[in-house]
Amino acid sequence: MKTISQFLAFVKKEFYHIFRDTRTMLIIIGIPVIQILIIGFAISTEVKNVKIAVYDPSNDISTQKIINRLSSSDHFLFVQHLKSTEEVEGVFKKGKIGMAIIFGSNFNEHLLHTGEASVQLIADATDPNQGLVATVYASSIIADYQQELMQALEIPIQIIPEIRMLYNPEMRSAYNFVPGLMGMIFMLICAMMTSVAIVREKETGTMEVLLTSPVKPIYIIISKMVPYFIISWFIFIIILLMSVFVLKVPVSGSLLWLNVFTLIFIVVALSLGLFISTMVNTQVAAILFSGMGLIMPVMIFSGFIFPIESMPKILQYFSCIIPARWFISGARKLMIEDVEVRYVLKEMFILTGMAIGILVVSLKNFKTRLE
């Protein structure tokens, strides 16, 4: 009983520390919200004025009508006619266009006689979202034309748009940003804040007093982690709500498992923070360590920004020790791809293992270091 009330007294104190430090509070709550909003604008699905170039060897009534419709929509801006298909790569590389439209020869004739004609849409998918949306818009404009023509001719015809994505064939959708961002935010809040909170007590000298008290070090540590754990969960819920209602990212998977999975990752991040706090003695060092040692690798090696698959092999192996890599991959599956939980068991086991490993090492370190 006594230990529980001792423990609760500690947790309460930690909450006071957090809530009274307005700067910290702003960081904790503000950063996730702002980042989500910024990224929300970045993945805005509104695509306008995509520059297009056309290769039209047929130059007949159908192709002209299609080109006219594309050009007259807000989404596209006609830039130039191409003389041959060889020119396509060149104009893309010069950055002149965002999409190329390649008609087959004798387009109209094919359409009327065989009822089928094909058009190739080649999009620059460096920005995957824009590339995808552009092809979707173009396809629907073409489909509209096909529909009208069919009604006029009263014979079945079909224009088959053949879509190719240049530069980013995997189409890493910007939806991936949400899990990636969560990975980063939790590293920031859990790891950085926990390490700073513990190191601060070392700096001010209160840690010494706590350690001369009968309270076991493990309680001191856990009571430091509890508030950040709760706050992180709260932030996770904010991010989820914002993703669904502001960014319209579909959260299609099991909410229960998504929560469980995220909480495991939060524990990993908290233990990393604890680990850092056993290594350093000043708050500045704690911030540097968690900034350079945790947040940078998360951005670079977790697959948040740069696809892991396209990294050199050695960096791919290195990315395996970055917890956020597994979190992002699992969260993506659970949130966006809506897979059953058994497909993320691997990620879950790895993260749980990491949490236990780091926790054990840092608890051992914590005791000896303060001597």
Partner 1 sequence: MSIVIETQELTKKFGAFTAVDHISFSVEKGEIFGFLGANGAGKTTAMRMLCGLSKPTSGKGFVAGYNIEKESEMVKKNIGYMSQKFSLYEDLKVWENIRLYAGIYGVDGKLIPRKTDETLSKIGLSGEKNSMVKELPLGWKQKLAFSVAILHEPRIVFLDEPTGGVDPITRRQFWEMIYEATERGITVFVTTHYMDEAEYCSRVSIMVDGRIDALDTPHNLRTQFSAQNMDEVFRRLARKAKRMDT
- Chain residues in the site for partner 1 (CB under 8 A): 2, 5-6, 9-10, 13, 16-17, 20-21, 204-206, 208-215, 370-371
**Strand-pair category, 158-166 with 99-103:** unpaired
Shortest distance, position 9 Cβ to partner 1, whole Å: 3
Q: Are 66 and 119 in contact (CB under 8 A)?
A: yes
> DSSP letter string over 115-159?
SEEEEEEEEE-SSHHHHHHHHHHHHHHHHHHHHHHHHHH-S--EE
Q: In the 8-state DSSP scheme, what is residue 307?
A: -
Task: Please give the C-alpha separations between residue 93 and each of 48, 82, 97, 101, 150, in angstroms, as whole numbers.
Answer: 20, 14, 9, 16, 37
Q: Are 181 and 284 contacting, i.e. CB atoms less than 8 angstroms apart? A: no
Select 147 or 204, whichever has its Cβ closest to partner 1. 204
Classified as helix, coil or strand, 45 is: coil
Query: Rounded to the nearest whole angstrom, what is the least distance from the CB of residue 217 to partner 1 in the complex?
Result: 11
Residue 250's SS3 state is: coil
Question: To which residue do tokens 């094909």 refer?
Answer: 118
Q: Which of 234, 284, 289 is nearest to 263 (CA)?
A: 234
> At how many degrees (to 10) do helices 323-332 and 255-279 cross?
170
- CA dist., res. 155 & res. 149, Å (int): 9
Q: Which is nearer to partner 1, 156 or 205 (CB)?
A: 205
Which lies closer to partner 1 via its Cβ, residue 209 or residue 284?
209
Rounded-to-integer distance, Cα 63 and Cα 112, Å: 13
Nearer to partner 1 by Cβ, of 219 and 257: the residue is 219
- Nearest residue to 120 (alpha-carbon basis) of 184, 56, 167: 56
Closest to partner 1 by CB, 16 vs 167, is 16
Closest approach of partner 1 to the CB of residue 239, in Å? 28
Q: Nearest distance from residue 2's CB to partner 1, in Å?
A: 5
Distances (CA, A) of 58 to 54, 63, 108, 336: 11, 7, 8, 42
User: How many Å apart are CA 97 and CA 79, to the nearest integer?
Assistant: 7
In three-state secondary structure terms, 47 is coil
| CB closer to partner 1 out of 69 and 216 | 216
- Distance between CA 64 and CA 70 in Å, rounded? 10
Residues pairing with 54 in the sheet: 81, 101
